[in-house]
Amino acid sequence: LTQIIAEYSNSSTNKLMVDEIGYDVFDDFLIHLFQVDFEPEETRIRTEEMIYLQPLPGRIILDMIQTIPFTEEDHFYDFGSGLGHVPILVSLLTTARAVGIEYEPTYVSYSKLCAKKLEDYKVEFRNQDVRDSDFSDGTIFFMHTPFIGSILRQVLDSLRILSEKRCVTLCTYGSCTPLINQEKWLHPIKDGNGESHRLAIFTSYPT
Protein backbone atom coordinates (compact mmCIF):
# COMPACT_ATOMS: atom_id res chain seq x y z
CA LEU A 1 0.00 0.00 0.00
CA THR A 2 2.81 2.39 0.87
CA GLN A 3 4.52 1.67 -2.45
CA ILE A 4 1.32 2.25 -4.43
CA ILE A 5 0.73 5.54 -2.66
CA ALA A 6 4.33 6.62 -3.23
CA GLU A 7 3.91 5.95 -6.95
CA TYR A 8 0.70 7.98 -6.93
CA SER A 9 2.33 10.86 -5.05
CA ASN A 10 5.22 10.98 -7.53
CA SER A 11 2.91 11.12 -10.52
CA SER A 12 3.11 14.52 -12.23
CA THR A 13 -0.46 14.05 -13.49
CA ASN A 14 -1.86 13.71 -9.99
CA LYS A 15 0.23 16.56 -8.60
CA LEU A 16 -1.83 18.85 -10.83
CA MET A 17 -4.94 17.77 -8.92
CA VAL A 18 -3.82 18.93 -5.48
CA ASP A 19 -5.59 22.28 -5.57
CA GLU A 20 -8.41 21.25 -7.88
CA ILE A 21 -12.02 20.35 -7.13
CA GLY A 22 -13.12 16.78 -7.77
CA TYR A 23 -11.75 13.26 -7.73
CA ASP A 24 -8.97 11.38 -9.52
CA VAL A 25 -7.58 7.89 -10.12
CA PHE A 26 -6.60 7.43 -6.48
CA ASP A 27 -10.28 7.56 -5.52
CA ASP A 28 -10.96 4.70 -7.96
CA PHE A 29 -8.24 2.72 -6.17
CA LEU A 30 -9.74 3.49 -2.75
CA ILE A 31 -13.21 2.37 -3.86
CA HIS A 32 -11.82 -1.11 -4.55
CA LEU A 33 -9.53 -1.10 -1.51
CA PHE A 34 -12.37 -0.39 0.93
CA GLN A 35 -15.13 -2.33 -0.82
CA VAL A 36 -16.90 -4.92 1.34
CA ASP A 37 -20.05 -6.99 0.94
CA PHE A 38 -22.27 -4.60 2.86
CA GLU A 39 -24.51 -1.76 1.70
CA PRO A 40 -24.69 1.06 4.28
CA GLU A 41 -27.87 3.13 4.44
CA GLU A 42 -28.88 6.11 6.56
CA THR A 43 -30.98 4.93 9.51
CA ARG A 44 -30.86 7.93 11.87
CA ILE A 45 -32.57 11.25 11.29
CA ARG A 46 -30.07 14.09 11.31
CA THR A 47 -30.72 17.59 12.54
CA GLU A 48 -30.41 20.50 10.12
CA GLU A 49 -26.93 21.20 11.52
CA MET A 50 -25.65 17.70 10.68
CA ILE A 51 -24.22 17.20 7.18
CA TYR A 52 -24.88 13.98 5.27
CA LEU A 53 -22.07 11.78 3.99
CA GLN A 54 -19.73 13.46 1.51
CA PRO A 55 -16.91 11.43 -0.10
CA LEU A 56 -13.54 12.98 0.67
CA PRO A 57 -10.99 13.05 -2.19
CA GLY A 58 -8.25 10.57 -1.33
CA ARG A 59 -5.48 13.01 -2.20
CA ILE A 60 -6.63 15.19 0.71
CA ILE A 61 -6.02 12.32 3.13
CA LEU A 62 -2.55 11.75 1.66
CA ASP A 63 -1.78 15.46 1.81
CA MET A 64 -2.61 15.48 5.52
CA ILE A 65 -0.56 12.35 6.25
CA GLN A 66 2.44 13.68 4.33
CA THR A 67 2.26 17.13 5.94
CA ILE A 68 1.87 16.18 9.60
CA PRO A 69 4.70 14.27 11.33
CA PHE A 70 2.49 11.63 12.98
CA THR A 71 4.14 9.72 15.84
CA GLU A 72 3.16 6.78 18.03
CA GLU A 73 2.36 9.31 20.75
CA ASP A 74 -0.41 10.88 18.65
CA HIS A 75 -4.09 10.12 19.04
CA PHE A 76 -5.95 11.02 15.84
CA TYR A 77 -9.70 11.64 15.76
CA ASP A 78 -11.92 11.98 12.69
CA PHE A 79 -15.19 13.73 13.55
CA GLY A 80 -17.91 12.36 11.28
CA SER A 81 -15.79 9.50 9.96
CA GLY A 82 -18.38 8.23 7.47
CA LEU A 83 -17.20 4.98 5.85
CA GLY A 84 -13.90 5.09 7.71
CA HIS A 85 -11.41 5.90 4.94
CA VAL A 86 -9.55 8.61 6.85
CA PRO A 87 -8.97 6.78 10.16
CA ILE A 88 -8.04 3.54 8.39
CA LEU A 89 -5.45 5.18 6.14
CA VAL A 90 -4.00 7.11 9.07
CA SER A 91 -3.80 3.87 11.04
CA LEU A 92 -2.21 1.91 8.18
CA LEU A 93 0.27 4.56 7.05
CA THR A 94 1.36 6.09 10.36
CA THR A 95 2.19 4.92 13.87
CA ALA A 96 -0.59 7.03 15.43
CA ARG A 97 -3.66 5.60 17.08
CA ALA A 98 -6.69 6.47 14.93
CA VAL A 99 -10.33 6.79 16.03
CA GLY A 100 -13.39 7.54 13.92
CA ILE A 101 -16.48 9.03 15.56
CA GLU A 102 -19.64 8.63 13.48
CA TYR A 103 -23.31 9.35 14.19
CA GLU A 104 -24.74 6.80 11.71
CA PRO A 105 -24.48 3.17 12.99
CA THR A 106 -24.46 1.50 9.56
CA TYR A 107 -21.44 3.60 8.56
CA VAL A 108 -19.64 2.40 11.68
CA SER A 109 -20.50 -1.21 10.80
CA TYR A 110 -19.15 -0.67 7.28
CA SER A 111 -15.97 0.94 8.62
CA LYS A 112 -15.32 -1.97 10.95
CA LEU A 113 -15.73 -4.45 8.10
CA CYS A 114 -13.27 -2.45 5.99
CA ALA A 115 -10.73 -2.44 8.81
CA LYS A 116 -11.16 -6.19 9.31
CA LYS A 117 -10.72 -6.83 5.58
CA LEU A 118 -7.46 -4.88 5.62
CA GLU A 119 -6.36 -6.52 8.89
CA ASP A 120 -6.11 -3.16 10.57
CA TYR A 121 -6.63 -3.92 14.24
CA LYS A 122 -5.33 -0.59 15.57
CA VAL A 123 -8.13 1.61 14.30
CA GLU A 124 -11.23 2.20 16.43
CA PHE A 125 -14.72 3.33 15.45
CA ARG A 126 -17.30 4.76 17.83
CA ASN A 127 -20.99 5.15 17.04
CA GLN A 128 -21.53 8.39 18.94
CA ASP A 129 -22.61 11.98 18.68
CA VAL A 130 -19.29 13.80 18.88
CA ARG A 131 -20.74 16.08 21.56
CA ASP A 132 -21.10 13.03 23.82
CA SER A 133 -17.74 11.48 22.95
CA ASP A 134 -14.56 11.61 25.01
CA PHE A 135 -11.67 12.76 22.84
CA SER A 136 -9.67 14.34 25.65
CA ASP A 137 -6.58 12.25 24.77
CA GLY A 138 -6.57 13.57 21.19
CA THR A 139 -3.68 15.46 19.64
CA ILE A 140 -4.68 15.59 15.95
CA PHE A 141 -8.23 16.07 14.69
CA PHE A 142 -9.90 16.05 11.27
CA MET A 143 -13.21 17.48 10.11
CA HIS A 144 -14.69 17.20 6.64
CA THR A 145 -17.49 19.60 7.63
CA PRO A 146 -19.56 16.97 9.46
CA PHE A 147 -21.70 19.62 11.14
CA ILE A 148 -22.27 23.36 11.25
CA GLY A 149 -23.85 25.96 13.53
CA SER A 150 -24.10 25.32 17.25
CA ILE A 151 -22.63 21.81 16.98
CA LEU A 152 -19.49 23.12 15.31
CA ARG A 153 -19.29 25.87 17.91
CA GLN A 154 -19.55 23.40 20.78
CA VAL A 155 -16.87 21.12 19.33
CA LEU A 156 -14.50 24.02 18.66
CA ASP A 157 -14.98 25.25 22.23
CA SER A 158 -14.13 21.76 23.53
CA LEU A 159 -10.98 21.67 21.41
CA ARG A 160 -10.00 25.15 22.59
CA ILE A 161 -10.30 24.02 26.22
CA LEU A 162 -8.27 20.91 25.39
CA SER A 163 -5.59 23.09 23.79
CA GLU A 164 -4.95 24.66 27.19
CA LYS A 165 -3.48 21.29 28.27
CA ARG A 166 -1.58 20.28 25.13
CA CYS A 167 -0.91 21.33 21.55
CA VAL A 168 -3.87 20.55 19.32
CA THR A 169 -3.65 20.12 15.55
CA LEU A 170 -6.88 20.55 13.58
CA CYS A 171 -7.21 19.60 9.90
CA THR A 172 -10.25 20.75 7.94
CA TYR A 173 -11.80 20.39 4.51
CA GLY A 174 -15.04 21.76 3.16
CA SER A 175 -17.27 24.67 4.09
CA CYS A 176 -16.19 24.69 7.75
CA THR A 177 -12.68 25.86 6.81
CA PRO A 178 -13.45 29.59 6.34
CA LEU A 179 -15.20 29.65 9.73
CA ILE A 180 -12.41 27.82 11.54
CA ASN A 181 -9.89 30.11 9.87
CA GLN A 182 -11.37 32.92 12.00
CA GLU A 183 -10.65 31.18 15.32
CA LYS A 184 -8.14 33.36 17.21
CA TRP A 185 -6.67 30.44 19.19
CA LEU A 186 -5.71 28.55 16.02
CA HIS A 187 -2.71 29.29 13.80
CA PRO A 188 -2.41 27.99 10.21
CA ILE A 189 0.50 25.68 9.38
CA LYS A 190 -0.96 24.77 5.99
CA ASP A 191 -2.96 27.62 4.58
CA GLY A 192 -5.85 26.62 2.39
CA ASN A 193 -6.51 30.32 1.73
CA GLY A 194 -9.82 29.84 3.49
CA GLU A 195 -11.08 27.86 0.47
CA SER A 196 -13.38 24.89 1.00
CA HIS A 197 -11.73 22.61 -1.61
CA ARG A 198 -8.26 22.76 -0.08
CA LEU A 199 -6.85 21.06 2.98
CA ALA A 200 -6.20 23.45 5.86
CA ILE A 201 -4.16 22.55 8.95
CA PHE A 202 -4.13 24.60 12.13
CA THR A 203 -2.25 24.33 15.41
CA SER A 204 -3.09 25.79 18.79
CA TYR A 205 0.56 26.81 19.32
CA PRO A 206 1.95 29.75 17.34
CA THR A 207 4.40 28.52 14.69
Task: Provide the pLDDT for residue 119.
Answer: 93
Task: Provide the pLDDT for residue 121.
Answer: 92
Task: Provide the pLDDT for residue 18.
Answer: 55
Q: What is the mean pLDDT of residues 161-185?
A: 95
Please enumerate in sequence order all residues whose Cβ is within 8 A of that of 26, keeping only pairs 6 or more positions apart, or say none: 8, 14, 57, 58, 59, 62
Binned at pLDDT 50, 70 and 90, residue 166 comes out as very high
Please enumerate in sequence order all residues whose Cβ is within 8 A of that of 169, keeping only pairs 6 or more positions apart, or say none: 68, 139, 140, 141, 189, 201, 202, 203, 204
Query: pLDDT tens across 43-100, in order?
Result: 999 999 999 998 899 999 999 999 999 999 999 999 999 999 999 999 999 999 999 9
For the entire predicted model, the pTM comes to: 0.92
Binned at pLDDT 50, 70 and 90, residue 12 comes out as very low
Q: What is the DSSP letter of 80?
A: T
Kindly report the length of the chain: 207
pLDDT for residue 196 is more than 80: no
Binned at pLDDT 50, 70 and 90, residue 112 comes out as very high
More confident residue, 16 or 90: 90
- Cα gap 84→171, rounded to integer Å: 16
Binned at pLDDT 50, 70 and 90, residue 20 comes out as low
Query: pLDDT tens across 115-144, in order?
Result: 999 999 999 999 999 999 999 999 999 999
